[in-house]
Amino acid sequence: MTPGPAAPLPTGGSASPIVRALSIAGSDPSGGAGIQADLKSFAAQGAYGMAAIASLTAQNTRGVRVVHSPPADFLLAQLEAISDDIVVDTVKIGMLGNAENIAVVADWLERHRPEFVVLDPVMIATSGDRLLDADAERALQALLPLADVLTPNVDELAVLVDDSAAPDLEAAIEQGRRLAAAAGTRVLVKGGHLARLDEPDGAVVATDALVAPDGAVVLLPGPFIRTKNTHGTGCSLSSALAALRPQRDSWAQAAADAKVWLTGALAGSDLLRVGSGAGPVHHFHELWPAPRFSAEMWERISPIREAITTMPFIQALSDGSLPWPNFSFYLTQDALYLREYARSLARVAALAPDQDAQVFFAQASAGALEAELSLHRSLLADDRSSAPAPAVPPKRPCAATALASPVTAGYTDHLNRACAGGDYPEAVAAVLPCFWLYQHIGELLAGRVAQWGGTGAHPYAAWIDTYGDPAFAELTEQAIALTDRAAATASVLQRTAMAAAFERSSQYEWMFFAQGTDLPDWPV
């Protein structure tokens, strides 16, 4: 018997181990929002992404220029083509553009009901402009009950309950309860625009809330990330939620995990450097290797480095014209600073996760800094009556009796906070600029000593030689390598804290030198 043609294999069976997620939304050619953000979010959660485009936009990180909605029957053709061939596990609905598209989506949902549906009711632009006309807003109200979760922003939530925008999280949750009860579905109240200070620990928190139709509330706290890169945040959160729900036991767990992921995407957004306006979040912050931390930070502080090397204090130190009273003041403050810096290095050693780092920072605290303090004591003991100054005022108090300046106190307070918090990556980043910037300056100034005819001729040769010495450069390279090692295993939030600590320490280094020009009789 001759066998007949084989039956076609099913192409969209429900046994697929990969979540098949569909986005129905508008397109953003700049890649940060809409369909493009949704597909990236799906992929970041391990889901297979599909898209039916409801609207086309011409936009970038600075705003939307043109919106075009193709005929509604074309949107329907896209949806039918997908559902005729592929089982859709979960759906995210975003910008639909007009009442006709909304009606098409509502009809398709009723005929091809996926198990999970998230609706992001895109109604209001960041500028505050309404994106839907009155007919479309009425049609959208009828679509709400067909979703499992609604994810409006604060302004959209207010419109949906015919109220003014909530001034705080409590008011927003109350509006969420009203909407959830009216639509018979869950509402994710987003607190990014309602961030507030957490009084016990002084951190700024942005709490979301998942509200059920019966009024029950699950709070989803998280840190507030200070960044201008918020383009597509709502799209990305709602699509992550849709992709995660088939992989989690509840909407609450999916929402919590989506929020953690988005927090990391916001924290990592500066690495992308896309556009000159509100840039996109970093959808693949957990997948892409981060650039080497030290190289990234050295580039970031290039304006600070330029300001340090061109400031009057460093220029006069370089050519030997710096008045001794100014240098004496600097040395006194530096001796006070180094005592606290030694304590900070000891804390870094105690926090270090491996023996190499423990030994390095312990030795830096006990040995290298003691040598520097000895240099400061010998220089401060020098009367320098023939120093290059037009008029030498009375000698300043020695470091043992002097008071720390506001800059010195601010710098050491910053280091104490960074190193006392128990987070090694942040602590090691905070102490690095004192190594690196001093080595950088010493290397730049070393050539000036040679121009004077040798170490004995330049009035500040001993100080310059200390930081221009190859041994100090080797110590600096070790400190950089240990910081990069810490950054390589740090989370996105930890790297963000590291960057902030490094940049703040670098700013203090600039202020530390700059205060040396604030004395009387400064001739430059």
The residue whose two tokens read 């804390």 is 347
- Domain residue limits, the chain: 20-271, 293-517
Residue-wise pLDDT for 401-415, tens only, equals 468 889 999 999 999
Topology at the third CATH level for domain 293-517: Heme Oxygenase; Chain A (1.20.910)
Alpha-carbon distance of 220 to 254, in angstroms, equals 11
Closest Cα partner for 336 from 419, 399, 416?
A: 399
Element (H, E) at 207: none
Mean pLDDT of 248-272: 93
Residue-wise pLDDT for 460-483, tens only, equals 887 787 787 888 888 898 999 899
Mean pLDDT of 45-68: 94
Topology at the third CATH level for domain 20-271: UDP-N-acetylmuramoyl-L-alanine:D-glutamate ligase (3.40.1190)
Closest Cα partner for 504 from 297, 263, 347?
A: 297
The predicted pLDDT at position 523 comes to: 39
Closest Cα partner for 241 from 229, 231, 232, 253?
A: 253
Q: What is the pTM of this model?
A: 0.68
Residue-wise pLDDT for 83-130, tens only, equals 999 999 999 999 999 999 999 999 999 999 899 999 999 987 665 667
Q: How far is CA 53 from CA 67, 83, 99, 108, in A?
A: 12, 15, 15, 14
- The band of 156, judged by pLDDT with boundaries at 50, 70 and 90, is very high
Which phi-psi region, left, alpha or beta, contains residue 423 (left: φ > 0; alpha: ψ -120 to 50)? beta
Q: Is 162 exposed, middle or buried (0-12, 13-18, 19+ CB in 10 A)?
A: exposed
CA angle in degrees (0–180, nearest 5) for 475-477-478: 65
Residues designated catalytic: 190, 230, 232-235
